[in-house]
Chain A
Amino acid sequence: MTAQSIQRDSGRSALDTIRHGLSLTPEFRKGLAGTLALAVVATVGKIIVPIAVQQTIDTGLKDGVPDLSYITSAVLVCAAAVVLTAIAGYVMNVRLYKATESSLATLRVRGFRHVHDLSVLTQNTERRGALVSRVTNDIDQISTFMQWGGLMVIVAFGQLFVATVLMFVYSWQLTLLVWACFIPLMIALPRFQRLLSRAYTVVRERTGDMLAAISESVVGAAVIRAYASERRTAERIGTAVNANRSAQVRAQTIVGFVFPLTEIVAAVAIAGIVLLGVRLGLSGEITQGELVAFLFLVTLFVSPLQTATEVLNEAQNAVAGWRRILGVLDTPPDVADPGEKGVELPRGPISVAFEDVHFSYPGGPPVLREVTLVIPPRSRVAVVGETGSGKTTFAKLLTRLMDPGSGRVTIDGHDLRHVRFSSLRERIVMVPQDGFLFDGTLEENVRYGKPSAAREEIELALTELGLADWLEGLPAGLDTPVGQRGESLSAGERQLVALARAYLADPDLLLLDEATSAVDPATEVRLARALEGVTRGRTAISIAHRLSTAENADEVLVFDAGRLVQRGPHADLVNEQGVYADLHASWISAAHS
């Protein structure tokens, strides 16, 4: 089986990415035209100063005698315009924020859900942190761009546009001069941006390395201490931190050199305006007010171009963010829920069949081969075999965490692939090898098996499992916090909670994958007996390395190197030559040595 990996990015072009992204976020498109119209109004505010200056000098100060009433009224009109454009700016900003945030929240939730819909195998192709990034940092990056950069782009284009229009009205020669000064810079900017983007890519990589190094010192704290590898770890972290710092300084240096270039170009443009302007003035092609206004208009070129490299960079990040989140959404779940079309299973005992099932992990050797078997309803099955023989893989195929490479798995005669997930997950529950708990109280964790359960129901479940004494021994009983991943409980206790959680879910088929491996024998026997009582009439499958589990089963499945090599009741198998007899011998010798 070639389990797919999550697409690194959607492989779409930038434009297509944006188009597709927008089509997924109707909230953003709604009212966008209005927002853009307001943006135009808001940018007009930028040319008020040059116009006011020009009017004052040319009309108000004609002949050296200030026309006070004219200047006053001009100033008042301009002030009113300023207020108006400010209001337009406010309304535009709020609309933009609302639209982007609403649409990104939708996208975020969609992405999150989609990650959960992907199979475990697909999820495992990516580091946990990177996967989380897809619904956090990547989206935040888009959000940053939309609110800061996106606005900047609109304003910048608007600003350049209105400034140019006004310049043309005053003097086409000077307009050409200004553009002639700025065009080389505009051509160079994308180059700088590429330089910067490369530098930032290095920064990101170094940051990733650094975080990985730092996280080892925290998550591996016990191992590091037990093996006194603190110094080595500290050195590795130090190297990573310094590499990250150097990369950041390098990127900053590029910004530092590129950023002020615009100032120099603007000064050259201004000098050019003065040089050419006075000559145009002599030939009467421009008034002195217009010439002075030009000096102000040039400043409108500065800020868009000054921030352009950074905006371009943000834009690139945002597109990359879009690509990564679309990469998740474009990855079809390989183990997909048939949904409404799927079969709904009636409640009641479940039978399972494997028909010539093969499986291998991506890029690995075959792990299960030619597995064919039938588990009749109400039977109690034990699965045994060496470590690595494929028992957990078998369990994952049975619960449809993965699909077989070839062959099929059926329950009650229905191909698992056609069974609706809601029905499947309700009827078949597996307790995995290591009991993962959520950071919360014990009660919350057990309730996860049945969200509607009342506290009494949870207490009752624990009592039925024979865990009442244990619960009483805990400092805060049901309210005991279990810590992250359940790490404030002992390993065995964690398994008890995981088991209680599955028990509360009340499935028709319960599959235990070494679910009590860290629990003491007395408790384990109590649990087994309690489970036996309550799963009577249901199907139960246990993977375990215990003789008693095999002895008490109606049927034992023996796996060896990915094959089902033996099956039958314990009593028959012990007398057969084969893997089981060897296993049995080792159990017996272990128990009586």
Chain B
Amino acid sequence: MASKVTSAVMRQGLRVLGVAIRTEKAVFALAVLASAVYGGMTVASSWALGWATQHVLLPSFAQGRVASGALWTGVFLIIGTALLKAFGVAGRRILAGVMQYRMQARSRRDVTRQYLRLPLSWHHRHPTGQLLSNASADAEAAWAPLAPLPMAVGVVVMLVTAAIAMIFTDLVLAVVGFLIFPAIAVLNLVYQRRLSPLATRAQQLRAEVSEIAHESFDGALVVKTLGREDLETERFLRRAHELRDANIAVGRVRGLFDPMLEALPTIGVLAVLAVGALRLSGGSIVVGDLIQVAYLFTLLAFPIRALGWVLAELPRSVVGWERVQAVLEATGSMEYGSVDHGAATASSAPAALEVRGVSYRYGEAEVLHDVTFDVPAGRTVALVGPTGSGKSTLVQLLVRLVDPDAGQVLLDGVDLRELAYGGVAQSVALVPQQTFLFDDTVRGNIALGQESADEDVWDALRLAQADGFVARLSDGLGARVGERGATLSGGQRQRLALARAIVRRPRVLVLDDATSSVDPQVEARILYGLRDAAETSTVVVVAYRLATIALADEVVYLDHGRVVDRGTHEELLARCQGYRNLVTAYEREEAERAAIDVLAEDEEVLAGEEEGVSA
């Protein structure tokens, strides 16, 4: 069973190699040519040495004088074959590298292009760490066997040439070779088969160790505030020790097979000497032949392992390739229509949004059910609902970060799916609930590749009430904000994200609780500023605060993924109990508290009286 699986893996691996060979035909052909030169010359160099022994060394000892013609021929042969061989080695190595790195780069570009193409819902389903390793480690692993591949092909050439050379030299010695070399090859095969599952496991554990470290350092604040350093260290230690044991297991196999693989050719040479002595005494060969074959064994011992390297990399390669392929073959990429919305209306007038019977699910769980409402052009609509009711999900649909499972979202009557690429972004800007800043400058984070004049950026910052603190940063617009904006306070990050949307002068502005970390004073200033500027845009705002809601022309109240009611704030307050409970929670709380305080005072008075009585 196990061997069946392995041979399937081998077949699959060879197919992967086939893909690379077809893609990089020319480079591969040249690399193999270079490697064949290398293989042929390796055998030729042993032959040159045998020739020199037979025609230069032995005669000069026997005859007591040096035949200078033969001497210089020998020298020429030895150096000539070495030069050609060196040339082959260099060509093989460089071209193999070119092929391998080109394929890697190709995979990486394809994979990331696919990441950019696939919808956000796909991203939701795949952990970040996995996607990163698909584009880095897996793309690397997929093409790793390409490095030793040309060498392996060269070794095959070498073996064939060696076999022919040996047969021509002496059949009996050739038989020794035919026993030893297959033995080395088989031993190597067994080696790689034993090794590769262990190596794969070690690789896997290395990734897991890295994941734990990453997450643990990411959550450093939580770890520290709860004093859980010991717990984290324990968690890391367990995996680190598993990795250690896996590495030692790899080491045991290596430690066992490496010396055997070293010893086998040596045993081969010894066998050649013993057998060769017999043949010599029978007069079937000359000493030069013996030396040639012995030398050949010495030279072949190492390269023959290249076959094993390719085989060793295959399982890892197959896994890497399959993971890359899974990304490339992922369907559900966002289809874009051809309607050029911006150009069609040729204006920056506010646009109308309509949500019609929309449902959306994360995996099995449907979180939006048949949601319908509309936002007339130039109006402001507040989305209100309890935590987890689906507001952020809905907002993602409005800017087409994800597509609904049922229903439609329409911009000026056009289904978002029919808009050309970039059409939605051109008209609609979202400020997400979770601020994301790139490790870039303030300017870079706001412009996001769009050409924006500095004045426009400052205008946007002013509207977002961020001009003050940005001006105080040491490099102003050029200041870097750190990983995920680490050097800014939460409210400052939010305001940069707001400016990013404003600078685009969107026709629809969607704010998802975008001022939650901003204090009410600043928030009020932002909202007033926006209201003045909002004449040019339609606004959808997710909010809890009354001040924000008060700016809206209409309120859509959402609960458990359904639109429960919609109307003006006053209307909902009057007729929708859930809404009333939600938005007036603070006032009711105050009222109740006042009542409780009165009660408590009464109790105290009562208690005092009782005490007084008992005293």
Contact = CB atoms under 8 A, between A and B. Distances in A.
Contacts of A234: 112-113, 116
Contact of A49 (B269, B401, B492): B269
Contacts of B391: 490
Given A75-B273, A128-B217, A385-B519, A249 B97 contact: yes
Interface string A439-473: 10000000011010000000000000000001001
A485 interface: yes
A406 to B, nearest CB: 22
Interface string B64-90: 111000010011001101110111011
A216 B109 CA distance: 14
Interface string B552-572: 000000001000000000000
A31 to B, nearest CB: 15
Interface stretch (A12-20, A107-115, A373-381): A107-115
Given A147-B251, A222-B436, A386-B522, A52 B269 contact: yes
Interface stretch (B163-171, B290-298, B346-354): B290-298
Interface string B108-140: 110011011100100110011101100110000
A168 interface: no
B463 interface: no
Nearest to B593: A552
Given A242-B105, A522-B582, A108 B240 contact: yes
A232 B472 CA distance: 30
Nearest to B278: A68
B340 interface: no
Contacts of A388: 469, 489, 491-492
Interface stretch (B176-184, B315-323, B405-413, B426-434): B426-434
Contacts of A241: 105, 108-109, 112
Contacts of B82: 263-264, 266-268
Interface in A382-434: 384-388, 392, 399, 401, 421-422, 424-426, 429-434
B296 to A, nearest CB: 12
B123 A401 contact: no
A261 interface: yes
Interface in A80-104: 82-83, 85-87, 89-90, 92-94, 96-98, 101-102, 104
Contacts of A93: 251, 254-256, 258-259
Contacts of A66: 277-278, 280-281
A64 to B, nearest CB: 8
Contacts of B590: 548, 551
Contacts of A112: 213, 216, 232-233, 236, 240
A530 B123 CA distance: 37
A510 to B, nearest CB: 11
Contact of A432 (B225, B434, B483, B547): B225
A403 B433 CA distance: 32
Contacts of B131: 218
Interface stretch (B1-9, B49-57, B154-162, B373-381): B49-57
Contacts of B517: 387, 433, 514, 517
Contacts of A547: 586
Given A288-B61, A387-B490, A439-B127, A226 B240 contact: no
A68 B277 contact: yes
Contacts of A115: 217
B521 A583 contact: yes
A23 interface: no
Interface stretch (A169-177, A273-281, A350-358): A273-281
Contacts of A245: 101-102, 104-105
A71 B273 contact: yes
Contacts of B89: 256, 259-260, 263
B557 to A, nearest CB: 11
B401 A226 contact: yes
A271 B45 CA distance: 12
A295 B585 contact: no
A48 B218 contact: no
B401 A451 contact: no
Interface in B266-296: 266-267, 269-271, 273-274, 277-278, 280-281, 287, 291, 294-295
Interface stretch (B242-250, B306-314, B605-613): B242-250
A224 interface: yes
B519 A295 contact: no
A229 B448 contact: yes
Given A292-B53, A388-B489, A281 B60 contact: yes
Residue of B61, B287, B517, B547 with most chain A CB atoms under a 10 A cut-off:
B61
B170 to A, nearest CB: 15
Contact of A590 (B362, B388, B500, B546): B546
A226 B266 CA distance: 66
Given A68-B277, A86-B260, A228 B436 contact: no
Given A49-B298, A281-B57, A438-B215, A244 B263 contact: no
Contacts of B295: 295-296
A93 B258 CA distance: 9
Contact of B123 (A143, A218, A270, A282): A218
B243 to A, nearest CB: 7
Contact of A518 (B102, B513, B581, B593): B513
Residue of A48, A66, A303 with most chain B CB atoms under a 10 A cut-off:
A66
B438 A71 contact: no
B22 interface: no
B353 to A, nearest CB: 15
Contacts of B93: 252, 255-256, 259
Contacts of B271: 75
A55 to B, nearest CB: 9
Contacts of B519: 384-387, 545, 583
14 contacts: A68-B278, A97-B255, A116-B223, A136-B213, A211-B136, A226-B425, A227-B429, A237-B108, A387-B492, A425-B225, A498-B222, A517-B516, A519-B387, A545-B519
Given A128-B214, A274-B57, 9 more contacts: A128-B218, A226-B399, A230-B117, A249-B98, A264-B83, A292-B53, A387-B495, A547-B586, A593-B550
Q: Lowest 3 CB-CB distances: which A-B pairs, in order?
A: A425-B227, A97-B251, A387-B491
